[in-house]
Amino acid sequence: MKRGCFSVSKEKAGQNKQVLMVIAQKGFRDEELAVPQKVFSDSGLNVIIVSDSLDEAVGKLGARVRPDAEISKIDFAEFDAVVIVGGPGSRDYLWNNKLLHMGLSVVHSKGGVVAAICISPVVLAKAGILKDRTATVFPDKEAIAELRKAGARYQNRDVVVDSNIVTGRDPQAAEKFAREVVNILSRKEI
């Protein structure tokens, strides 16, 4: 672990798998954080929420969340899954976040789960993870174009699973999306 990085003690976590949930500082989609977070916690996973800042993050519908850590302080290698929450703020805060792209690559290359919902699958596309993969995204023209530009095969479905990559289309898919992440984690030794 690098000096100054946020670390999760396996002792503290009870050897549970570690899920990193990434939210935009402003405009994350409230239910795309709350619903998966509950599913993950109820499944015994240790959930850490990160954003660009430790300042209170504000959701599109008014939820207020104090992140556990900053993206820049995370040692992504310690996590079994990275889940990127959607919402309009993703376009401004997450789509072009190079540190997040690098972290996703670390988790993906070790066989961990990378997941994104709503317009956030674009982050996976920009990180180079969706090339020759099947994925979904919120039916926004720019988001669909970004997936295709990155070499992804777009499908307009609630949830798409391609190996260890999970993408969800919209808030209505949040629970199904989260359950797919849990299903993969329960089968994988990462």
pLDDT tens for each residue of 127-176 = 999 999 999 999 999 999 999 999 999 999 999 999 999 999 999 999 99
User: Which domain does 71 fall in, by range?
Assistant: 18-187
Residue 66 in any domain: the answer is yes
Between the alpha carbon of residue 127 and those of residues 47, 65, 79, 153, 188, the distances in Å are: 22, 26, 17, 16, 23
> Torsion over CA of 52, 180, 136 and 22, rounded to 10 degrees?
0
pTM above 0.75, yes or no: yes
* CATH number of the domain bearing residue 58: 3.40.50.880
Structural domain count, the chain: 1
